A = this chain, B = another copy of it.
Amino acid sequence: MNSYQINHLQSYKEKNKNRARFLIQCHDRQGIVAAVSQFLFEHDANIIDSKQYTLDPEGGEFFMRIEFECANLENQKGVLEKDFQQVAEKFNMSWKLMYVEQFKNMAIFVSKEVHCLLELLWEWQSGDLMGNIALVISNHENAREIVESHGIPFYYIPANKDIRNEVEEEQKKLLQEYNVDVVILARYMQILTPEFVKHFENRLINIHHSFLPAFIGANPYKRAYQRGVKMIGATSHYVTNDLDEGPIIEQDIERVSHEDNEADLKKIGQSIERSVLARAVKWHLEDRILVHENKTIIF
């Protein structure tokens, strides 16, 4: 980590040391917002931002992200968590309380193509990704230099499908050692086992180089070229054990024309992949994403 990045972090943490966020989900009924906002008022917290969504207004599912500021938060944490338990029980809520200052630890998995990794390093270094890049794991050596030049540990773990379990053992040991919260597959071209995927449910972010659900699977640019589409896209999603079928976080597209050959589509697409993945990771780090029935709610 360079001094530039350290400054970003310190000023960010200082600014946010009294900030926290509730992520809430429950069946909709009258009084939820009143109860939550009353709770915050009674605990001397000021609401900074609040977003909510009800899946189907007639008695459906209710989702909320509410960010607040609370003087002397460090010492209030225990009280907040304990007291909120009562509110949560009343409405049978699933809930999380996240402290803004507590950064998430990311692990980035990458294979040969490094454009998505570089974008994440870039955004992170510029202070746009507020989290720790704890380590980078790759089945190729070519990203080592750039990663280590950022002061980030780089681990080369060769991988292929025959040694999948051994590889994942090694990876999981590292993820545990670095206390990793979220794994980012920045064009990591290996399939992960169902156990691994399950363990990181809704914490395993992939970038797929097509506008899903078009071109699920291998070689999407080649197939896009062959189909003669007039736009190509990229999709970031949480990984599930159905290939490319997990909850979509973000998508984007660019226009292409008959003049663009397969290599052109790939170039254009890489630029889309970079920005789509970076947005998805950013939203995850900021606790903006709730998952419900294989879809995301983005607050």
Contact = CB atoms under 8 A, between A and B. Distances in A.
B48 A267 contact: no
Interface in A107-140: 115, 118, 122, 126, 128
Given A122-B118, A231-B251, A295 B258 contact: yes
Interface of A is mostly: mixed
A30 interface: yes
A229 B251 contact: yes
Copies in the complex: 4
Given A37-B34, A38-B34, A47-B33, A248 B267 contact: no
Given A31-B41, A214-B212, A229-B212, A253 B253 contact: yes
Nearest to A261: B56
A248 B230 contact: yes
Given A33-B37, A214-B214, A230-B249, 19 more contacts: A28-B46, A29-B46, A30-B47, A31-B41, A34-B37, A34-B38, A34-B41, A49-B52, A53-B259, A57-B69, A149-B149, A211-B231, A213-B215, A227-B248, A227-B295, A228-B294, A230-B248, A258-B297, A258-B298
Interface of A: 28-34, 37-38, 40-41, 44-54, 57, 69, 115, 118, 122, 126, 128, 149, 211-215, 227-231, 233, 247-253, 257-259, 267, 271, 275, 294-298
